[in-house]
Each structure stands twice: as C-alpha cells, then as structure tokens.
Structure 1
Amino acid sequence: MEKLVEKKLTKRDYFVVASMLFGLFFGAGNLIFPLHLGQLAGSHWVPAAVGFLVTAVVLPLLSVLAVSAMHAEGVYDIGKPLGKWFAILFMVLIHLTIGPLFGTPRTATVSFTTGIAPMLPKSMQATGLLVFSALFFLAAFLLAYKEQRITSAIGKALNPVFLVLLFFVFFFGFTHSMGAAGAQASTTGYTALGGSFFNGFLQGYNTMDALAGLAFGVTVVTAVRGLGLKRQSSVAKMTAKAGVLATSMIGVVYLFLIVLGAKSLANFKVSAEGGTAFNQVVTFYFGTAGHALLATLLTVTCLTTAVGLVAAFAQDFHKHFQVLSYVQWLGLMTFASFLTANFGLATIISWSTPMLMFLYPFAMVLILLSVSGKWFNHDKTVYAFTVGFTAVPALFDMVAAFPPVVSQSAFGVAMTGFEHSFFPFAALGMAWVVPALVGLALGLVVYKVRARATVNVMN
C-alpha cells in the first residue's frame, strides 16, 4: 500500500531532474546533426528546423508523457497492451539499437572522431580510438554503478559543465557572426519548403531520442522515487513536468545549432557530416585551442548520454532477465559498446539508419497510442490494427535505407520499386504514415462496434 505522506519537492528538485533528462537526451547526435542540418538547409533552415523539432523534441517529450500516462517503468510497459512477447521483443530491439549496437558506441566514436582524432596522426587513430573508448566506457560504468547516483552525476555535475562550454560557442557564434543564415544556398532536397520540412523530420530520427525517451523511463522513475515520491500519480506528474522543461531547453539549443550551421556556410562548404562542421566552427572562433574545447564539450555531453543508456539497459534487462544482476548487465553492456565503437563512426551510422527507419514508425505510433489511450481504454485491437498496418511499410523503408550492398541489390531495388508504386510518401521515407492511419481508423471502428454490442447485451 502506498504511503500517504510524501516529501514535498522543491523547485531545485524539479530542475535537477530536468537537468538529468536534458543530459540523458543530449548526446552525440544531438550536437552534430542539427548543426549539419543547418548547413544542408541554408536559407530554408526554418522549415527544416520545424521538421527536425517534431521528431527530435516533440516526440521525445511525448515519449516521456507516454511513460507518465501509462505509469510505465520502461519500454516493456509501452508495448504491453499488445501482449508479453511483443513487449519483450520491442524492448530488446529498442535497447539493442540505442544500446550496444549503435547508439551507445556512437557516443564514444563521435567524441573521438570529432574532438580527439584531428589532433592525432592517421597512423595512431585506430590505437587512439581503442584507448579512448576503453577509458570512456570505464567512466560510464563507474558513474552508472550506483543507480541512485545517476541523478547527481548527470543533473548536478556533467550537464552544467556541458552547458557552460556550449554557451561560449554560441556567444562567439552570434556576436561574431560568419554571415546571414537566410542568405546561404540550400542543398538538393532542401530547396523547396516541403522537401526541407520532411528531410528535417527524417534527420530527427538520427538523434534516437524518441526511442531513448522510452528506454530512459526506468532510469527517470528510479531517480524520481529516490527524491522521496512514492505514489504512481506523483511520480508521473513529476516526470511529465521535468520532461516539458528538459525538452524545451533542448529545442532552444537545437535552434541555435541549426542557425549556427546555416551561418557557417558563409565561410565553409557543406561538410560530409556534423562532426566535421562543428570542428570547423570551433576552430574558426577559437583556433588551436578550439580542438581542446571541442574535445571536452563532446566528451562531457556524450558521457552523460552513455551513462543513461547503459543504466537503462541494465535496469530493464535485470528486471526482465534476472539471470544476471544489474551490475553484471551493466558490465556486459559497456563491454559490448566498447567493442562496437571500434568499428568506427562511419560504419555505425551507415548501419544504424536502417534500424531507425524500421523502429521509429513503431515507436511513434506506440507513443501516440499510449498518450491518447484513455479515450479507447488502451484496447488491444486498436493497438494491433495500428501497429500491424505500420509493420509492412516500415520494413520496406528499412530495406531502402540499408547501405548499397543491400539497397542496390536486385532484392533491394525490387522492394524499393514496389514500395514507391503502392505506398504514398514512400519517396520521402514516410511510407508508413497512411497505412498507420488506416490501421488506427479500422481499430477504432472495431473497438466502437464491440463497445456498442457490449452495451446492448447488458441492456
């Protein structure tokens, strides 16, 4: 039975939890992808930013609200209306994607590739990555070792350091502007308003934050309960308020980064990826010392996210697969991430994109169903129709996003051709939207018919 007396939280408690959430969300991709988006969009940075904010801010906020609305403690609870086995499968796929296969290793490789590698000779870079990633994940393991210390480690220590360093970059970037963002050329795909919006929307997938928001649920709930809250309703309210504050702060930072990226085109060509773009900007303003600033900035922000990811993985897997303890799962997660990181940033990004194209549609519909579920009592039929109709186009989008060895094969070309012929918005990478809406409509119709039949029988 829940205790009736709870600790009354202060404004400082709310700020610390929000700061922790900010630090958990804001990692490798959050720093480099919006800056690169600004370079790609140029003068059309506004619609690109709007699209990016939908998937990189609104969806992560909804994921936090979904955890709150469902009184969930992890990814498993979000998928539970579709049954135990679906919930387990969804949880495993989410954690593997944002965990040891792609998301967590990327936190180390972005830090190294952008901040450390430019200061090393090419002959030393493989060894440098090995040593750096080993130290990086050892630090992540130690910071996440005690679950109750995560709030202090991220919310009170690492995140404020990151924000101070980022402030200096923004201060110089806007007081000593390279050029006008609205006067820069746009790249192919960003020359029209619609294309700019949808490409920005898809770029938001790369942050992985909608997936991370679901995974971080257990970490946030543990932290909030550690502050003295016991009732589910109180934990949910605290989580929602902190989520709104954290994602609002993230949205502001994204806008600054996108504008800064567009401004940089006055001095630099569009870079191959955001890490190079950020390196150019920091070097322009701070010279040789910029490399040290960049290395520190990236390492701090990526470490905060890595701590959250490894902790969430260990917490969820220990809860559902108790063959290993929290610490053992934590050690396994950090070691696997260390191994994957040494494949390099380019390889990780190229193979993570297909998984994101597959998982993001599922995550989006499940988040929206969780938030709105009170209007149809979280009925399994509505979930089943919506998720089922989303599955096929999501699979097609995944195949189209694979590296050329798959996407340009006879099988890949045939799949892509079929998708573009029969699914609206396939060329935009949004083939799942119409089928998901059709599935939702059918599910709601079936739910309403059953509800009326039940009422008639009772009468």
Structure 2
Amino acid sequence: MQKLTGKKMSFKDYAVVSSLLFGLFFGAGNLIFPLHLGQLAGHNWVPATLGFLVTGVLLPLLSVLAIAITKAEGVYDVGLPLGTGFALVFMVLIHATIGPLFGTPRTATVAYSVGLQPFLGANNHWGLLLFSALFFAAAFAFSYKENDILSNVGKVLNPLFLVLLTLVFVVAFANPLGQTTGAPVTAAYTSFSTALTNGFLEGYNTMDALAGLAFGVTVVTAIKQMGFRDSKSVSLVTAKAGFFSMGAVALIYLLLIVLGAMSLGQFKLSAEGGTAFSQIVTAYAGSVGQAVLATLLTVTCLTTAVGLVAAFAQDFHNHFPKVSYHVWLFLSCFASFLTANFGLETIIAWSTPMLMFLYPLSMVLILLSVFSPLFKRDGVVYLAVVVCTVVPAFFDMIVAFPKVVSHSTFGLAVGNLRAHLPLASIGMSWIVPALVGLVVGLLVHFVRRNSLPEMVEE
C-alpha cells in the first residue's frame, strides 16, 4: 500500500473509513427488517438469516467491491458499459428510489413512528411535520460541507449509535424474553427452502445494494481527502474497509434476528419490526427504554440520511454541474421532507415494487462489475444479461404494486404472462433469463475475441 500511495494506511484510518461505510449503510430498515424477520421465521431463523445475509450483507459488500474493481466513482460508472444514456437513467432511478422518493424519507418516518410517536400519540398530526423538518435540516447541516462528511458520520454519529445499540443487546441477551427453539413459525417460513427464499427477498427492503452503488462517490471522495489520490490505492482502501464494515453489519443482523425470534416468548408477531423493537425495549426499561430507542433510531437514521442526501447531491452535481452541490443538497432534503409526510405505510407500499424492479438489475450489474476483468468489461455481455433481466423484473414490479395497479387490466395481463416464467411464484422470475443472457453474452464475447483479437486489445 505504501508503495502505491506514498502514505501508509494506519489502522485508525481503516477504522474511520469502515465506520463511514457502516454509518452510511446502517439505517432505519437495517434495524427493523431483521428484527421482524426473526419474528416471522421463529425457530427457523437460521435459513432465514442465511438468505437475508446474501442480499443484506454479501450483495452490498459486492457493490462496494464493484466500485473498487471498476475504479468507478458512483452508480453512473457502473452502468457505463451499456452506454451513457443507460448509465444516466440508471443513476437517476437508483438515486430517486433510495433518495427523495422512498429511502431518504423512510429514515425520518421510521425514527418518528417508532421512536417518538409513542410519546406523542398516534393522532398528533403535527408531530411528523415538525420532526421531519428538524430531521432534514440537521441532515442538510451535517452534509453541507463535503469535506466534513467523513468526520461527522465516521467519527461522531456512528460511534454514538454503536454504544446505544450495544447497550440494547447486552440487556436483551442477559435476560432473554424467550428461547428460539420453541418460537412459532409463520406459514412462509415453515421449510428450510421457503425460509431461505423469503429471507433473501426480505433483504431487498434494506436497499443496501442500491445504496452501495450510490455511496461510492461519497466514499471515494472521503478517501481521496485522506491523501490517497491514485485509483489503485483508493480501490484497495475501499475494498478492505468494506470487508470490515459489512462484517460488523452481518454480526448485528444476526443478533437482531435472534432477538426477534426470542421476543415471541412474550409478544405476538408484530405488524413490522419497529413495533417489535419498541415492545422489546419498553419491556426491559419502560419509558426510559423508549427514550433510548428514540435516540438510537434518530441517530442511526440521521447517519444514513446524511449519506443519501450527500450522494444524491454529489452525483447530480457531477452530471449536471450548472446546478451547485448545495442546491442539489437542498432539493434532496426538501423533497425528502415532503415525501416523509405521506407516512411510513404509504412509503413502504410504493417502494416495494421499485425494489422488485431495481434489485435484479442492480444485482446483475454488481456481479458483472466484480467479474468484469474476466471478459474485459465487454458491453456485449452486459447488454445480453440486462436485456434478459429487465423484462421479468418489470413484470415483478407490476404485480408488486398496490391493487390500483396490480389488479388493473394491464396488471392482471402482466401477471398472467409472468406466471409462465420459472421461479415466478417466489418473486425471482428474472434469475433464469439472466443466466441465459449471461451464457449468450459470454459466447458472443469469446467468439468475437477469438476471431477479432484486436477488438479486445482496444
């Protein structure tokens, strides 16, 4: 490393970058979805955990590695082998989904509905409005200066979150509410295969694979500010810090899933993980525990919001430079504030279909980027895989929409077509077509390479 950069990367430097990555990834959904998964899976929590870790940990880690391996600086570069038009559209869709439309507003609504609403009451209509205004004002302030993002998230907000979460785990595992061995199982998790599959799909809700692509520009900027300028050193630092941070995320997911399964010893299955978390904390510490939970959720949600609004502003400023970083930052925060006031239930209902569409596309692009050195990042391979993935992913999106879309004439027609695709019943109709596209793309690539070797050199 020292030969590459002229600067030795210390353990402290790695810890700070890893803390930044952890803080950017770990937000509202990362607390409530694994906890709810534990309640859904009951004593079948092990296969559910394995599935969840694939989309909740392995895939986000691969997204960070994709940025490192391709020397990309953001989601735009990941889609570039398919052309500038596709790359720009893909970037806008990713940032809109994890940004002002769904992901960023969710950070405020979860923090409010789970942390503060129990104190204010469900009928307090002004509470969310005021809280979300203050929340996004804070996110704007923390991310206003680009060179302060590393310090604010990696050194200040994230350690505070870890201290509070550790306190919750120590208390909960010292005095468990029940045993996982006797925890009831819901119908969707009765067998090993169904628990594995549904755990895999539940990992979509974290949005971390999408976030990993979008956070690339934030992470790369922070590493360059530490004195690592050339692309090789930035890639190595990003990759190593990614392993550290996602290892910590995997451990927390495991503890949360077990905690959720144990909670069934005293509580019934909750509607969502936020309610379960509130019940667990209140059972141990009453209103004091609820206050700790409110603080915990607000801190972790704010760290993620800072990363999301900054990544949005940085990427959009890079591609639309006539508008300044600060204007894009304000627009992101203000739009997120407006969307947040539609409420958590509405946000989740409309975000799920977009995730069913974007996650398959993101997964294939991430995997293609990671293994791109094997086929020289040939755009033909990318094109074949993405074309075969986008149609079934679009079908999955349509049938996942609320009834106003999925039960319309168009929605029912799409559902009938989708039913003929393999694995459609488990929400993975895109996998077989994507594999077919991969085989076709690689065959074309190797035939072209053998017949026209000079094209590969170019």
Q: Is the TM value for this pair above 0.5?
A: yes
| Aligned equivalent of 2:439, options 415, 426, 441 | 441
Aligned counterparts of 1:389 and 1:117: Cα–Cα separation in 2: 45
CA change 1:161–1:456 in 2 (3 A) is closer
The separation in 1 between residues aligned to 2:27 and 2:153, in whole angstroms, is: 12
How many Å apart are 1:4 and its aligned residue? 7.2
CA distance in 2, matches of 1:235, 1:247: 18
Deviations 1:201-223 (A, max 9, x none): 00000000000000000000000
Counterpart mapping for 1:28-427 below 5 A: 28-124=28-124, 126-420=125-419, 422-427=420-425
Counterpart of 1:430 in 2: which secondary structure?
Answer: coil
CA shift in 2, pair 1:104/1:456, >3 Å: closer
Q: Which residue of 2 aligns with 1:21?
A: 21
Letter in 1 for 2:206: T
Contact 1:6–1:228 (CA under 8 A) maintained in structure 2:
no
SS of the residue corresponding to residue 131 of structure 1 reads helix
Distance apart, 1:183 and its partner CA? 1.1
Instruction: Summarize deviations over 1:375-404 as a string: whole Å, max 9, x none.
Output: 100001000000000011000100111112
Report if the CA contact (8 A) 1:386-1:436 is conserved. yes
C-alpha displacement of 1:6: 3.2
The 3-state SS of whatever aligns with 2:266 is coil
Q: Report the Cα distance in structure 1 between the residues aligned to 2:393 and 2:455, rounded to whole angstroms.
A: 40
Counterparts of 1:336 and 1:113, CA distance in 2: 19
Cα distance in 2 for residues equivalent to 1:388 and 1:93:
17
TM-score, normalised to structure 2's length?
0.97
Render the CA deviation track for 1:276-320: whole Å, top value 9, x for unaligned: 011111111111111101100000000000000000000000000
- Distance of aligned partners of 1:457 and 1:351 in 2 relative to their CA distance in 1, 3 Å threshold: closer
Residues 407 and 413, structure 1, Cα contact 8 Å, conserved in 2: yes
Measured at CA, do residues 392 and 171 of structure 1 come closer, stay the same or move farther in structure 2, by a change above 3 Å?
A: same
**1:52 alignment partner, SS class:** helix
Task: State the alpha-carbon separation in 2 of the partners of residues 4 and 187 from structure 1.
Answer: 53
* Partner Cα distance (1:167, 1:452) in 2: 56
**Closer, same or farther: CA 89–213 of 1 in aligned 2, 3 Å:** same
CA distance in 2, matches of 1:173, 1:96: 37
Distance in 2, Cα, partners of 1:332 & 1:45: 41
Contact 1:110 1:275 in 2 (8 A): yes
Quick one: structure 1 residues 394 and 5, their matched pair in 2 at CA, closer, same or farther if it must change by over 3 Å? closer
Deviations 1:58-85 (A, max 9, x none): 0000000000001010000000000000
Question: Residue 139 and residue 456 in structure 1: after superposition, are their counterparts in 2 closer, same or farther (change >3 A)?
Answer: closer
Q: CA separation in 1, counterparts of 2:95 and 2:454?
A: 44
1:140–1:303 Cα contact (<8 Å) kept = yes
Which letter maps to 1:222?
T
Question: Cα RMSD between the aligned structures?
Answer: 1.3
Following TM superposition, by how much is the alpha carbon of 1:407 offset from its aligned partner in structure 2, in angstroms?
1.4
In 2, the alpha carbon distance for the partners of 1:215 and 1:188 equals 36
Deviations 1:340-389 (A, max 9, x none): 00000000000000000000000000000000000100001000000000
| Residue 436 (structure 2) pairs with residue 450 (structure 1) | no
Confirm or deny: 8 A CA contact 1:140 1:306 kept in the other structure.
Answer: yes
- 410-419 or 321-330, which deviates more: 410-419
Counterparts of 1:188 and 1:5 in 2: how far apart (Å)? Answer: 54
CA contact (8 A) 2:5 2:230 kept: no
User: Cα deviations across residues 164-213 of structure 1 (Å, max 9, x unaligned)?
Assistant: 10011111111101111121111011001111011000000000000000
Runs of at least 5 residues in structure 1 that lack an aligned partner in the other structure:
none
Residue 231 of structure 1 and its aligned partner are, at CA, apart by: 1.1
Q: Compare 115-124 and 248-257 and name the one that shifted more.
A: 115-124
Matches of 2:455 and 2:188, distance apart in 1: 56
Cα deviation, residue 9, structure 1? 1.8
Is contact 1:361–1:394 with CA below 8 Å preserved after alignment?
yes
Identity of aligned pairs, percent?
Answer: 62
Unmatched runs of 5 consecutive residues or more in structure 2: none
**Whole-angstrom CA distance in 2 between matches of 1:286 and 1:313:** 38
> Counterpart in 1 of 2:430?
432
Cα distance, 1:108 vs structure 2: 0.2
Q: CA deviation at 1:415?
A: 1.5
Once the two structures are TM-superposed, the CA of residue 252 in structure 1 deviates from its matched residue by: 0.2
- Partners in 1 of 2:71 and 2:449 — Cα distance? 25
Amino acid corresponding to residue 114 of structure 1 in structure 2: V
Secondary structure of the structure 1 residue equivalent to 2:187: coil
Q: 1:412, CA displacement in angstroms?
A: 1.8
Please state whether the residue corresponding to 2:184 is helix, strand or coil.
coil
Q: Which amino acid aligns with 2:182?
A: A
Q: Secondary structure at the match of 1:122?
A: coil
For residues 52 and 61 of structure 2, the distance between their equivalents in structure 1, rounded to whole angstroms, comes to 14
Separation in structure 1 between the aligned mates of residue 239 and residue 122 of structure 2, nearest angstrom: 46
Alpha-carbon separation, structure 2, partners of 1:164 and 1:411: 50
Task: Give the deviation of 1:414 after TM superposition.
Answer: 2.5
**What is the number of equivalent residue pairs in this alignment?**
454
Aligned partner of 2:208: which letter?
D
Aligned partners of 1:107 and 1:305 also within 8 Å: yes
CA distance in 2 between counterparts of 1:4 and 1:364 reads 31
Deviations 1:21-72 (A, max 9, x none): 0000000100000000000000100000000000000000000000000101
